[in-house]
Amino acid sequence: MAEYETSEEDLPLSSDAPALDDDASPPAAESAMTNSFVHSRLLDSVASLTHHRDIGALDHSLVLSLAELTSAARVVLAKRTIDGASVEAIVRCAPDAQGVYQLQEDDLDEVDPTLQLLYRCMHRLEAQTETVQGRHRLVVPILCDGRAIGALQLDSDLPPATSRPLTDGFARIYANYTALLHESEHDKLTGLYNRRSLERQLQRLLHERTLRMALPPANGSPGEPGGEPPQVWLAILDIDHFKRINDTYGHIYGDEVILLLAQQMRACFRRSDVLFRFGGEEFVILFGAAGEAVVHAVLERFRQRIAEHVFPQVGSVTVSIGYAGVGRHDYPSSALDRADKALYYAKQHGRNGVYGYESLSARGLLGQGMAPGSIDLF
Ligand X SMILES: Nc1nc2c(ncn2[C@@H]2O[C@H](COP(=O)(O)OP(=O)(O)OP(=O)(O)O)[C@@H](O)[C@H]2O)c(=O)[nH]1
Is residue 280 a contact point for ligand X (CB under 6 A)? yes
Assign residue 112 a region (left: φ > 0; alpha: ψ between -120 and 50; beta: otherwise): beta
75 or 258, CB closer to ligand X? 258
Q: Which is nearer to ligand X, 239 or 285 (CB)?
A: 239
CB atoms within 10 A of CB 352: 17
- Shorter beta-carbon distance to ligand X: residue 220 or 250: 250
* Spatial distance between the Cα atoms of 128 and 137, rounded to a whole number of angstroms: 8
Figure out which of the listed residues 101, 119, 177, 242 binds ligand X, where binding follows CB under 6 A: 242
**CA dihedral for 258, 230, 52, 79, sign (positive or negative):** positive
Question: Where does residue 105 rank: exposed (0-12), middle (13-18), buried (19+ CB within 10 A)?
Answer: middle
- The answer to the question of residue 254 lying near ligand X (CB under 6 A) is yes
Q: Whose CA is closest to 281, among 315, 313, 314, 317?
A: 317
Task: Check binding of 238 to ligand X (CB under 6 A).
Answer: yes
The reply on whether position 281 binds ligand X by CB under 6 A is yes
Within the chain, residue ranges assigned H as helices are 26-49, 55-70, 116-124, 160-185, 198-213, 242-249, 251-268, 292-308, 332-348, 357-362
Binding ligand X by CB under 6 A: which of 110, 199, 224, 255?
Answer: 255
Q: Order of strands across the sheet with 319-326?
A: 274-279, 282-288, 232-239, 319-326, 354-356
Taking CB atoms, the residue at the shortest distance from ligand X is 280
Task: Give the residue with the Cβ less far from ligand X, 242 or 311.
Answer: 242
Q: CB-wise, 325 or 353, nearer to ligand X?
A: 353
Q: Which is nearer to ligand X, 138 or 261 (CB)?
A: 261
Minimum distance between the CB of residue 192 and ligand X, rounded to whole angstroms? 13
Q: How far is the CB of 229 from ligand X (least distance, A)?
A: 30
Cβ at position 259, least distance to ligand X in Å: 10
- Contact residues for ligand X (CB under 6 A)? 238-244, 246, 251, 254-255, 258, 280-281, 347, 351
